[in-house]
Structure formats: C-alpha cells, structure tokens
Amino acid sequence: MDKRTALTKKNNQSYEYFARNSAENIITFFNSSKMGLSNQQAVLSREEFGENTITHGKKTPLFVEIIKAYFTPFTIVLIALAIISFITDYVIAPPADRDLIGVLIIMAMVLISGTMTLIQSVKSNQAAEKLNNMVKITATVVRRKKEVELPIEEIVCGDIIKLSAGDMIPADIRLTKTKDLFVSQSAMTGESYPVEKRADYKLKGNSVETEYENIVFMGSNVISGSAEGIVVSVGDNTLFGKVAQDVSDKNPQTNFEVGISKTSWLLIRFMLVMAPAVFLINGLTKGDWFEAFLFGLSVAVGLTPEMLPMIVTTNLVKGASSMAKKGTIIKNLNAIQNFGAIDVLCTDKTGTLTQDKIILEYHLDCDGKEDSRVLRHAFFNSYYQTGLKNLMDVAIIDAAKEELSIDSSKYKKVDEIPFDFKRRRMSVVIEDTSGKTQMITKGAVEEMLEISSFVDYQGTVTPLTESLKKEILKTVEELNEDGLRVLAVSQKTNPATIDEFSVSDENEMVLIGYLAFLDPPKETTKAALEALKKHGVGVKVLTGDNALVTKSVCKQVGLANEELITGNEITKMNDFELKTIAEKYNIFVKLTPQQKTRIVQVLREAGHTVGFMGDGINDAPAMKEADVGISVDTAVDIAKESADVILLEKDLMVLERGLLAGRTTFGNIMKYVKMTASSNFGNMFSVVVASIFLPFLPMLPLQLLFLNLIYDISCMSIPWDHVDDEYLEQPKKWNASKIGSFMKWLGPTSSVFDITTYLLMYFVICPQLVGGNYHDLDPAQQATFIAIFHAGWFIESLWSQTLVIHTLRTPKIPFIQSRASFILTTITSLGIAVGTILPFTSFGQSLGLAELPLNYFAWLGLTIVSYLFLVMIVKKFYVKRFGELL
C-alpha cells in the first residue's frame, strides 16, 4: 500500500495533515496542479481514492428482494410442510398411491404470495429511484485551465474547485484562495450561524475537523464570498459520508413492523399448538397414524395465513399508487400504514405552516411612516451585494422594482463588507454619477443600533439617545408580536477610508428606518390543522425561530393561547421531564436539531406513533427516529434519503389525505388478518370436535388444501375494498392481543353451524342417499357416505368463511348499511360458485367429493343465514366490549 492510499484510509483521510500543510504541498500530494487535473488523471484518481457518491440508503439487490418476498415466516412454514408432504405423499408412498397434488397446492400458495409481494416491492423501489434522480447538483471544476460544470459524482480527489455564494460544497476541500468566505456547515455541527473560512488559517493545537478554517466540508453551502480549493476527500470518506452512514444505520422498528411481527408469530404459535393436537386426536380415535399425520399437516397449512405478506404488500402498494396521484411518493411501503397510525405530527413552522415566501410588508422611517427612501437604500444594499441573496433580499428587490423607478446604470459598487453572523449585518458602498458615495448597511436591529450614532427622526438627523433606542426597540417588539421579522437600515454619506473598506468603517452611521417582513401562513394550514385534529392527530410545531414570530404565526393558524417551550428550557430537562412536557405542550421554539430528535424519542417512548416533517440535513436523524419520516422533493439529498415519504407539495393537506389512505390500508389488512385468524380458528375447532366423534376424517387433506386455496384467492380482492367513513376518524395501531380476542369471540360462532352441518350430513343427508347409517353399511357404501359428508362440509365451510368476509368487514349491517366493493363482491362470488360446483365435476370427485341432493342446499341456505345473523349479534357485543371491530 503506497503512502497516499495509507494516508487517505486513516483517520478520516487525515484532515489534520491537510489543515497543517501548505496548499502547494497538498496539490503536489494529489499529483495535481493549479491548472487542474486532466481527464486521464481524474480516472486514475477515482480508481485510487474512490467515487464521489454516498452509499447511504443503498439499493437492495434483486436477490435480497426475492429472498424477502418468498421467505417470510408463513411461507417458510408452508415450504417445510410441502417438503414433508412430498416425502410422505411421493417418496415413501407406494407407487400406486403417489400423489403430488397436495405439494403443488401448497407451492402454488407460496408462489402466488411471493410473486405478488416481489412484483409490488420492485415497483415501489423503482418509483423511489425515479424521485432520487430528479435532483442533480453540479460544481465548477478546473480541468486543464478550463472551468467546466460537472455533476458532483464526477469530482475526484485532486480536482480544483471554484466556489461562490449559493454553491453547495461538493466534497471535502482544502482551501487555497478565499475572499470573505462564509459557509453554513450546520449539516456537520448543528450551528445556526455560518462560519468564516480562510485559506491562510494556521492550525494550532488540537481541534475537531469541523473547526479547521481552511477546510470546507461536503454537505455545507457557501453563504457569501468566493473561494478556490483542492478536493481532499470524496464520497463515503467525507465527514458528510460518515454522518450519512450513521443516520442510515439507525433504523428503529416502526409500529407497523412490530405489529406485523407480533401478529405473524401469534398465528404461527397457534398453528404449532392446534396441528399437533388434531394429529394426536385423530391418531388416537381412528388408529391410522399415517392418515392422521397427513390430516394434521393439512390442518397446519389451513391455519397458516400464507397470503398475509401478499395481502399486506398489495394493500401498501395500492395505497402508494393512490398517494402518488395526489403528489406524494411513498419510498417505504410500510410508511403507508404508519401514516394511518400517526397520532402526533411534528413539523417545522417555515414552509409547512407558512408559505416559505418572504414578503416585504412595510418599509418605515423612524417615525413609523411608509418611506420610499428606506426601500431605495435597502434595494442598493441587496442588489449590489455578492453574497447569497436570501429570501429577504429577494423580497426587497421585488418590492423596489414594483414600487420604485431606479436606474441602476447611474450607480456603481465601490466595495462591500460581507455579512457574517457575529455582526449580523452587511454593508455596500456605492457611488453615483456625481461622485457622491454612500455606505448602506442593513441588519438585525440590535446590531444596527450599536453602529448608529444618529437617527433620522421627525425630519432631522439627531443623536441616537437611550430614550430613542428604547422607543425603537418597543416598535420592533410590536412588529415581532404581529409575526413580522424586522431589519434596520442605516447609511453614511461620503465615508472616508484609507484602503479597502472594513468592519471598522461601520460606525457613526445614521439610522433611517426599518424593514418588516412577513412569511404568511398558507391558506390551507388552518383547515388542515382542524382536519388533522378531527382525525385524532395532534400537531406539534418544532422550530428554530424566535418565540414572538412563532407565536404570531401559530395564532393565525388556530394555535392561539398555546404556551411556548424554548430550547434553553429543554436543555435543563432530563428525559422523564421532557416526556411530560412534550406530551403537554405543542409549540417548541429556538430548538437545535438534537433537541428535535430528543422530543421525537420521548414521544415514541410514551407510546405515540410519531411523524416528523423536515427538509434539512439536520432533520435527518429526527426523521429516522420517527415512525414516519416526511420530506419534500426540494429537500437536501440526505433528508430525502432518510424520509419514508416525499411530498411533491409541502402542504399539511397532503398529509391529511395520506393519513386517510393509511387508515384505509390498515383497515383492509386487519380485515384479512382477523377474518382469516377467526375463520381458521373456528374451522379447526370444528375439526377437533369432529375428530373426536366421527369414525372418519371430517375432510381429506387434499380437500382441506383446496378449500384453503379457493379462500385465499378470494381474499386477494380485499385490498380493493373500501372502509367505512367512521373507521377513518381515529389513528389505527397494531394490537396482537386484540387479534387473539377476536379469534376467541368470532371463531367459535362458525363452529356452532359446522357442528349442525355434521349432524345434518351424518344423520340425515348421507343416510338418505346411501340407504342407512354409517356403521350398518359395507365398505363401498361407507366410502360413498364419507364422500357425500366431505362434500357437504366442504361447501358449507366455503360459504361460511367466504361470506363472513362481508359481515366482518364492517360493524354495520352487511349488504344494507355497508356494501363491499364491486371487485370483492365479484371475486368472493366466483369463489363460492367454483367451490359449490366442484363436487359435481370429475375433478371434485377425484378429490373425494360426491354429488349432493337439492334439499341439502335448502338446509345450507338456512344454516348460512343463521350463521351470519349470529355473527352480527356477536360482533355487536364484541364492539361494545373492545371499542372497535377491526
């Protein structure tokens, strides 16, 4: 390993080495030059030092997607059962008795479930990829004296990069030249204010990498000034790459994933108890242990809701497709259900509650009157500065163009003193055609008062006294209370300077007025907050803005009379105290990114399902910590990568629609889980009873498998069902214990009528057709008796467990007060029709079923109507006891 490779692989590419050494040494180190790399050198550098890509959120390989789709807890059980069935039905069976139909039915279930899951997972990933490819960032690179714009992915170590105001830092760069360079590196440090970077910085003693003033880091951005530098670290080896990897590694289980896991293992444990019990009972009562084993195997298959992964995935993908049409991209399928479970939504103020568009509301003189002179001076300051024009600068320029007529050709910029966050102000010096010069400064009111010795008050320039300062600050406070952000403007005519203008020249200035800005609330915000509240979702505002402005905005959107909690207060709290405060209060101001994450953590620990909406890189950890991370398509890449959901429109109304889609999805998933669990429980309870009293198996293994296959195909239509409006009113969470109680309450109701069907078939229908009771018949007649019995119970089981879908899908009266979707009704009807006709076909007879008399169907109609009536009575008591059906 050569010196260069060894060094770059050690200690985050040895930032201390790059900070201490001269720019010339660094350029030599990378075999570069001031003219930049050649294309060939760039290729070699990429091979040696790596690509400039971040590997957080890696695309899941296709083979992993395949494994996840086909090998779920349920399908693993089915595959094991298929292997056992293959051995017993084919390998060790006599040649004449070999039969693979059972194995094929089981594997068909696995293939249908896995394939549907795989297809829809791939579709979801492709949608996320398309979104991620929407944003392209470029940088100005010197390649052999030529300045070219390249995608940041093509940048390599040794490249010479030129930076100017507004640029994103494309890699970790050792600065070689700087001019008034200020960089926002909150991505790394959480600092609210930009820091100054200088090429002539000399490292003294030990300090952390982010404090090296001659290195700028990927993920930061240039606020003002310009610079040139050489790339010293790219991709995963940058500090940004390390942070991104840390964020990606932290991926706590969501409410949805925990619920799915608990439910899956509940059903598997139930199967592991019931199947052996059926095997033992039949072995002891019938004496044929091999036949009992095969029947127990079929019972295990029947008790396994193998379509759960497919039903869940289909529901989620359908929900994702629906949301995509409404401007919401679902990156993580599970987030759809989590949307429905959210009961606390944490969101920033700017751009979410407000329009994220600054408007210059007032330009006032020091008497509080509108004054175009104040706007004109502010225009010169914003127009001629070379730093990044923020939203307030844009608002000033737009207002001046609309209200004033300014011929900028009559003025030229002499110099400027860039903005920095220690002074919190910036100045420009301009000269008109007559030779008159002016220094115009705008900035935060307190800092402007420090450099202003005079004030233009009541038409005259007078000394700025303490009483006038108090009056000015009172005016500013009143404007803040109205939700306005205030800047002050001062000027000085014909300022004298020896050489270049500097901060020391910002003195003895005349305060001429104020600029008051408004970031107005969105028109939809108040209605959206009311809609969210109506649907059981509490909104908590987590912002870094000050208390007065936040309070005013919140008042306008319907969050009046709320007590505000500040970041300073939170710093003094332990987690227990913060948990109490976080649940009680809804508006938090002056927060750091770490404090936002803490609030999300304690809310989740308190049992809430939390959504977090953010668009900055510092929001990424909190978004990862939340059950649902929500971002917008204009957010920084790491925020979008951390998000589960991307909004193409930053609006709470979109979230409200997402919540309803999530709850619909959850409802349809719970329909399948609860219906199937209770139906299977009821059927197996019936099997146990029949196994004890009947002299033969109540249903053959193949018949049980085929019955289960028809039912599962019917259930595939559940994702296309709709849910009652009342169901959408409150957040929905997984509760495995409720599934157990649902099984115990609703399952045995079917057993009542299964037993009446046994009695009907054993004592009435079968003796009537065969000509005697079972024990009085010869073996051939007994075989016919059994085939008729099996056909009767097969059809009754199919009708009862399919039609009960319509009864249990709603707490209302089915078919009258609440009707299933056309697709669900059609598919379930077809399933019943196929199963009913089956005993009358040669295939059904090959399965061991026999034709039934017409009077059987009269009894069947009475049985089914009575069963559905009993289910409606039981579900009414169930809802009264547990509060909800699904």
Angle between helices 779-808 and 822-837 (to 10 degrees): 170
Instruction: Reduce the secondary structure of 669-717 to three states and give it as a string.
Output: HHHHHHHHHHHHHHHHHHHHHHHHHCCCCCCCHHHHHHHHHHHHHHHCC
DSSP 229-286: EEEEE-GGGSHHHHHHHHHHH--PPPHHHHHHHHHHHHHHHHHHHHHHHHHHHHHHHH
- CA 169 to chain centroid, in Å, comes to 27
| Per-range mean pLDDT, top range of 224-228, 311-315, 465-469 | 465-469
pLDDT, one tens digit per residue, over 620-675 is 677 878 888 887 765 555 566 667 777 776 666 777 777 787 788 788 888 887 88
pLDDT tens digits for 403-432? 888 887 888 888 888 776 567 788 889 988
Query: What are φ and ψ of residue 185, in 5° steps?
Result: -120, 40
C-alpha angle 434-438-442 in degrees, rounded to nearest 5: 150
What dihedral angle (degrees, nearest 10) is formed by the CA atoms of 860, 861, 867, 868? 140
pLDDT over threshold 70, residue 125 = no
This prediction's pTM: 0.65
533-569 burial: b if 16+ Cβ within 10 Å, else e: eebebbbbbbbbbeebbbbbbbbbbebeeeebbebee
Please give the pLDDT value at position 379. Answer: 93
| Mean pLDDT in residue range 686-699 | 78
CA distance linking residue 215 with residue 171, whole number of Å: 10
Start-to-end CA span in the chain (Å): 63
For the chain, the maximum distance between any two Cα atoms, rounded to a whole number of angstroms, is: 126
What tens digit of pLDDT does each residue of 27-69 get? 888 888 888 888 888 888 888 888 888 765 556 677 777 777 7
What integer best gives the mean pLDDT of the chain? 79
Cα separation of 137 and 53, whole Å?
12
Cα 424 from Cα 536, distance rounded (Å): 42
The upper half-sphere exposure of residue 16, i.e. CA atoms within 13 Å in the direction of its Cβ, equals 7
CB atoms within 10 A of CB 273: 10
| Separation between Cα atoms, residue 105 and residue 333, nearest integer Å | 29
Give the range with max mean pLDDT: 20-24, 81-85, 101-105, 421-425.
20-24
3-state class (DSSP) for residue 577: helix
Per-residue confidence (pLDDT) for residue 7, from 0 to 100: 47
**Angstrom distance (rounded) from CA 65 to CA 78:** 19
Mean pLDDT of all residues in 221-243: 80
If you write DSSP's letter for every residue of 27-76 in order, what string do you get? HHHTT--TT---HHHHHHHHHHH--S---TTPPPPHHHHHHHHH--HHHH
Contact present, 589 and 567 (Cβ < 8 Å)? yes
pLDDT of residue 3: 44
pLDDT at 349: 65
Quick check: 182 and 169 in contact, CB under 8 A? no
Annotated active-site residue in 172, 343, 348, 712: 348
Q: Under DSSP, is residue 93 helix (H, G, I), strand (E, B) or coil?
A: coil
Strand ranges for 82-126 from DSSP E: none
pLDDT of res. 132: 47
CA nearest to 730, candidates 498, 593, 536: 536
**CA–CA separation, 669 and 663 (whole Å):** 10
Q: What is the pLDDT of residue 230?
A: 92
pLDDT band at 134 (very low <50, low <70, confident <90, very high): very low
pLDDT at 184 over 80: no
- pLDDT at residue 1 tops 70: no
Mean pLDDT in residue range 704-726: 82
Of 17-21, 168-172, 715-719, 739-743, which gets the smallest average pLDDT?
739-743
Residue 511, pLDDT above cutoff 90: yes
Q: Among 87-101, 236-250, 872-886, where is mean pLDDT lowest?
A: 236-250
Write down how long the chain is: 886
Q: Which residues of 807-816 are buried (b: 16+ CB within 10 A; e: fewer)?
A: bbbbbbebee
CA distance 397 to 378: 8
Told to judge if 348 belongs to the known catalytic residues of this protein, a careful annotator would answer yes
Distance CA 583, CA 567 (A): 16
Ramachandran sector of residue 332 (left: φ over 0; alpha: ψ -120 to 50; beta: rest): beta
Cα 434 to Cα 534: distance, rounded to the nearest angstrom: 65
3-state secondary structure of 1: coil
- The C-alpha atoms of residue 128 and residue 679 are separated, in whole angstroms, by 38
Orientation angle between helical segments 289-303 and 255-286, nearest 10 degrees: 160
Q: What would you report as the CA-atom Rg of the chain, rounded to the nearest whole angstrom?
A: 36
Lowest mean pLDDT segment, chosen from 266-270, 605-609, 867-871, 879-883: 266-270
Which residues, including other chains, have CB under 8 Å from residue 850's CB and lie 6 or more apart?
Answer: 784, 787, 788, 790, 791, 839
Residues 98 and 87: beta-carbon distance below 8 Å: no
User: Residue 180 pLDDT more than 90?
Assistant: no
- Two tokens at 135? 């944003």
pLDDT tens by residue, 814-828: 888 888 889 989 999
Q: Which domains does the chain have, with CATH numbers?
A: 3-57+136-249 (2.70.150.10), 262-323+659-882 (1.20.1110.10), 330-355+522-648 (3.40.50.1000), 359-518 (3.40.1110.10)
Residue 340: enclosing H or E segment and its boundaries?
helix 334-341
- CB-based contacts of 369, cutoff 8 Å, min separation 6: none
The phi and psi torsions of 493 (rounded to 5 degrees) equal -90, 140
In sequence order, what are the residues at sequence separation of 6 or more whose Cβ sits closer than 8 angstroms to the Cβ of residue 94?
none
Instruction: pLDDT band for 498, please (50, 70, 90 cuts).
Output: low
Which one, of 342, 306, 420, 399, lies nearest residue 705 by Cα? Answer: 306
Which of 173-177, 313-317, 400-404, 703-707 comes out lowest in average pLDDT? 313-317
pLDDT at 128 over 70: no
Confidence band of 715 (pLDDT split at 50, 70, 90):
confident
